[in-house]
Structure 1
Amino acid sequence: MLYFLQQLKILMVSDKPCKTVLIRVDATATIGAGHFVRCIALAQGLTSLGVNVVFVCIAESVDFINALHDFPFQYVTIDSDGVDEINYLAEQYNSKLVVIDGYQFSSDYRLALQKENYQLIAIDDNNDGGNLFADLIINPTVYKDNQPDYSDQKTMTNQPVKVIAGEEYRLLRSEITDIMPIEWSKRSGIGVILGGSDPKSLTIPVVKALTAELNKLGIQPDVEVFIGAAVVNPKGVLEELKRLKQNYTYLTWVQNPVNIGEKLAQKQLVISASGGTQFELYALAVPAILLIVANNQFANSQIAQQQGWAKVLDVRNDFSISDFDIALTQMLSANTLVKSYQNMPKYGDDGALNCALVIKKQFLD
C-alpha cells in the first residue's frame, strides 16, 4: 500500500476534476494487451469530450505503457484487486465512475465495488463471466445481429442494464481511424501481427510456415513482421527471425512501430490474431487470415469469414501448418485478394466517441 500511495502523490493532478473516469484494466504477457488497447480508444473518446481519465492497473502493465510511443493519460498502479485502493483513488479524483475491462475481474470484486456505490461500466464480449454488476455494458466486438443476450444482467436496483453493442460502438484508436484506406493498386506485401503480447507465441511458427509456403509456391512478396510492445522474450523472437531471413531474404520486421496503422494499411494481406486487430484491419480495408487464439474471438471471426474478407483458422489448441498452407494459397489468388478488399465497406470510425457520448450523457451530464 505504501508504494501505491507514494506513486499516487506523483501522478495526481493538483486539483480535483469534477468529471473523471477511472479505467481498471491490465496488459500482461498472460492476458494480452487487447483489453488495454481498446480502453485507450475509449479514453481518447472521453478526453475529446473534456472528461478526465485515469488508468488503474497492476505494476506489470507499466512495461506495456512505457513501450507505447504515446500514452498521454494518467495512470496509477495498485497491488491487488481489493476495494480500498479504488476507494482512495475515488476520493482523490472525486469520482465514483469506474470502467472495468478484463476476464480476471471476478463477480465478487465487481459486487464489492457496487456495494461501495460505484457506477460501473463493463466492457464485455460474450456475457460468459457471471454477473457484471454494471450500470452500463459496452460490447465493442460483436455485430448487431449476433450480440449476446444480456437480459440476465441487472443493476443494483434490479433494473435491466443499458447495453450498447455492435459496429457503431467499435473501440478503435485514433491511430487507426485517422487513416483512410489505401487504393488497392498502391498496396503490396504481407504483414504478420499476433497482437500486443502474442500470448501463444505464434509469431515464429506463423512466419516459418509462411515463408516456407511462399518459397514452395515460387513467389516472393515482401513480408513484414510486427512485434508487439508486450511480447515475451523479444530478443529470442528477433534471433529466430534473423535465422528465417537466411531462407527468405524478403523478410523484415519492426518492434512496436510508431505508425502501425499506416504500415498495416499498405498491405495486401495481413496474418493476424483474431482479437481487436481484426476490427482495425476491417477499418483499413485489409484482407486477412485470422487466427483464433481465445474463446471470445470465435463468433466474430466466423462473421468476418462470411463477409468474404478473411480466412479463419482456429489455433486455440494447436497451429496446423497444413491448414495454414491451404488458407494462404486460397487468399494469395489475385482475384481472391481483390474481392476480399471489395467486400470491406466502411461502417464509420466513431465508435469510441459514440461510447463516450453515451457515458457522458448517462453519468456525467
Structure 2
Amino acid sequence: MPAGPRILFFADAGPQVGGGHVMRCLTLARALGERGAECAFVESRAAAGVLRRFGWPAGPVLAMSNTEDLPGLVRWGQDFAASFQPDVVVVDHYRAGAAEETALSGGGARRVVVIDDLADRPHACALLLDPGFGRRREDYAGLVAAGCEVLTGPDFALVRPAFAAARPRSLSRRARHEPPARALVALGLTDVGGVTLRVVEALAPVLGEVRLDVVLGSGAPSLEALNALAGQDRRIRLHVDSTDMAALTATADLAIGAGGSSVWERATVGLPTATVVLAENQAPMAQALAAAGLTLALDARAPGFEAALVAAWSRLTGEPDLRWSLTTRSSELCDGRGAERAAVAILALA
C-alpha cells in the first residue's frame, strides 16, 4: 500500500498568543491522520508543551526546536522539511507571512496551506483557511494569488470531534429550559494577564448556588490564588490542564469564555456565552457575533470590565429567553465538522 501524504505543521504558541493555534492544528492533524496522512510539527517550546498535554505524537514523526525566534524557527523548519519531505506545509502563525511561507515551501516544491483570521498581510499559499464569522474571500483580495483557494466561515472551524459528538445531547438538554446550575469559565490555558482570577473574584459574590467549573493551565498566573479560593468555596472547581473540554462545555449551562478559536467549540454545543476579548485581534469577531445575537461580548482590557461582567452574568442567569436565543443562533452557525471539510480540501492538494 502506498504511503499517505506527509503534512508538516508550523504553529504559533506562547504566553501572549496562548495555545489556540496549536490546538486547532492538532485537531486538523488528527483529521488528516484518520484519512491516511502522516503529520509532524515544527515546535517551539511553548507549542511542544501544548502538544504533549493533548496527546501528540499520534505517530512516530515529531520535530523539536529549542528556538523561540521566528527566523530561527523558520530555518529549523526548513532543515526538518528537507529530511521529512512533506507534500504540504500548514502555517498557523500570526507573525508569519509570504516570506516565511515561501521559505517553508522549499522554493515552491511543497504546497502551502495558511490558517489565518486576520486578513492583514500577504500570503504565499495554495489554500487559505479563515473560519472567522462574516469572513469572505474578498477580504483576501490582493493578499493571496488569484489561483489560491480560499475557504471561509465557521463551516471550516477546526473543532475537535468530541464537540460534534456531544452536540445532539447538549442541544436536547438546553431545549428543556432548566435554570442554570453550572457555569464554565474558560479563558485560555495561559490565562493572559491573570484574567481568570479577575473573573472568578468578580462573580463569586453573585453566584448564588451556581457551580463554577474553572479551566486553566498548570502555568497560569491565577492558579495559586484560585486554589486558595476553591479551598474556601465549594462552588468553585478547578480543572487544570483539562483534556475533557467537550464534556465540560456540553454540560455547562452558560459560560464566560475567551474570544479565540474556542468560540466555535461553544457554538457547536449551543452554550450561551459572554465572550471575553483578551487581545485586539479578537475584538472585531466578538463584536460582530454580539451584533448578530450570537453571544454577549466583553473586553477584559476596558475600564469597568468587572462591572460589565456582573451585568452580563445577571442577564445570562436571569433571562431564559436570552439563553435559548444564544443557543439556537450559535448552534446554527457551527456544526463542529470543519476539520473534516478542511482535511478533504488539503488532501486534494497533496
Q: Give the TM-score range, shorter chain.
A: 0.7 to 0.9
SS in 1 for 2:43: strand
- Which residue matches 2:39? 53
Give the conservation status (yes or no) of the 8 Å contact 1:28–1:64: no
Q: Distance in 2 between matches of 1:319 and 1:132?
A: 38
Asked whether the 8 Å contact 2:12–2:94 carries over to 1, the reply is no
Corresponding position of 2:196: 203
Q: Which amino acid aligns with 2:29?
A: A
Q: CA deviation at 1:309?
A: 4.0
> Quick one: distance in 2 between partners of 1:103 and 1:24?
11
1:1-365 maps to which residues of 2 (within 5 A)? Answer: 17=3, 19-69=5-55, 71-73=57-59, 74-78=61-65, 79=67, 81-82=71-72, 83-114=74-105, 116-117=107-108, 118-128=110-120, 130-143=121-134, 149-155=139-145, 159-180=146-167, 181-182=169-170, 183-184=173-174, 185=176, 188-214=181-207, 219-228=208-217, 231-233=219-221, 237-245=222-230, 248-317=233-302, 320-335=305-320, 336-346=322-332, 347-361=334-348, 363-364=349-350
Distance across 1 between alignment mates of 2:76 and 2:119? 27
Between 1:114-123 and 1:178-187, the stretch displaced more is: 178-187
Measure, in 2, the Cα distance between the counterparts of 1:319 and 1:38: 32
Indicate if the aligned counterparts of 1:96 and 1:119 stay in contact, CA closer than 8 A: yes
Distance 2:304 2:258 in 1: 12
Calculate the aligned-residue CA RMSD, in Å: 2.5
Contact map agreement 2:217 2:241 (CA 8 A) in 1: yes
Task: Provide the C-alpha distance between the structure 1 equivalents of 2:115 and 2:304, rounded to a whole number of angstroms.
Answer: 29
Q: CA deviation at 1:304?
A: 2.6
| Equivalent-residue separation in structure 2 for 1:70 and 1:22 (angstroms) | 14
Is the CA contact (8 Å cut-off) linking 2:22 and 2:51 kept in structure 1? no
Q: Cα gap change, 1:251/1:348 in structure 2, threshold over 3 Å: closer, same or farther?
A: closer
Work out whether residues 168 and 351 of structure 1, in 8 Å CA contact, stay in contact via their aligned partners in 2: yes
Do the aligned residues in 2 keep the contact of 1:21 with 1:52 (CA within 8 Å)? Answer: yes
Secondary structure at the counterpart of residue 105 of structure 1: coil
Please report the TM-score for the alignment, with normalisation by the length of structure 1.
0.83
Cα distance change, pair 26–75 in 1 and its aligned pair in 2 (3 A): farther
Cα-to-partner distance string for 1:6-25 (whole Å, 9 max, x where unaligned): xxxxxxxxxx9451010001
SS of the residue corresponding to residue 179 of structure 1 reads: helix
AA of the residue aligned to 2:340: L
The amino acid that maps onto 1:108 is A
Deviation at 1:297, TM superposition (A): 1.8
- Which structure's CA Rg is the greater one? 1
Structure 2: which amino acid aligns with 1:208? E
For the residue of structure 2 that corresponds to 1:24, the secondary structure is strand
Specify whether residues 262 and 115 from structure 1 end up closer, same or farther in structure 2 by C-alpha distance, changes over 3 A only.
closer
Q: What CA distance in whole angstroms lies between the structure 2 residues aligned with 1:122 and 1:65?
A: 20
Distance 1:345 1:113, change over 3 A: closer
Contact 1:147 1:166 in 2 (8 A): no
Alignment check: 8 A CA contact 1:98 1:121 kept = yes
Query: Quick check: 1:169–1:355 contact (8 Å CA) kept in 2?
Result: yes
CA gap 1:115/1:262 in 2 versus in 1, 3 angstroms: closer
Residues 103, 283 of structure 1: alpha-carbon distance in 2 compared, 3 angstrom cutoff: same
Distance 1:334 1:132 in 2: 45
Alignment coverage as a number of residue pairs: 335
Quote the Cα distance in structure 1 between the aligned partners of 2:106 and 2:241: 40
Distance between the aligned counterparts of 1:148 and 1:272, measured in 2? 29
TM-score by length of 2: 0.86
Which moves more between the two structures, 346-355 or 72-81?
A: 72-81
- Deviation readout 1:229-269 (Å, 9 max, x if unpaired): 6x434xxx343124334664311111122321111111111
List per-residue Cα deviations over 1:155-204 (Å, max 9, x = no partner): 4xxx3421011122111112322222421247731110011212232010
Q: Which runs of 5+ in 1 are unaligned?
A: 1-15
Distance 1:285 1:193 in 2: 15
Supply the distance in 2 between the matched residues of 1:168 and 1:245 (Cα, whole angstroms). 38
Per-residue deviation, 1:291: 0.4
- What is the CA distance between 1:60 and its match in structure 2? 3.2
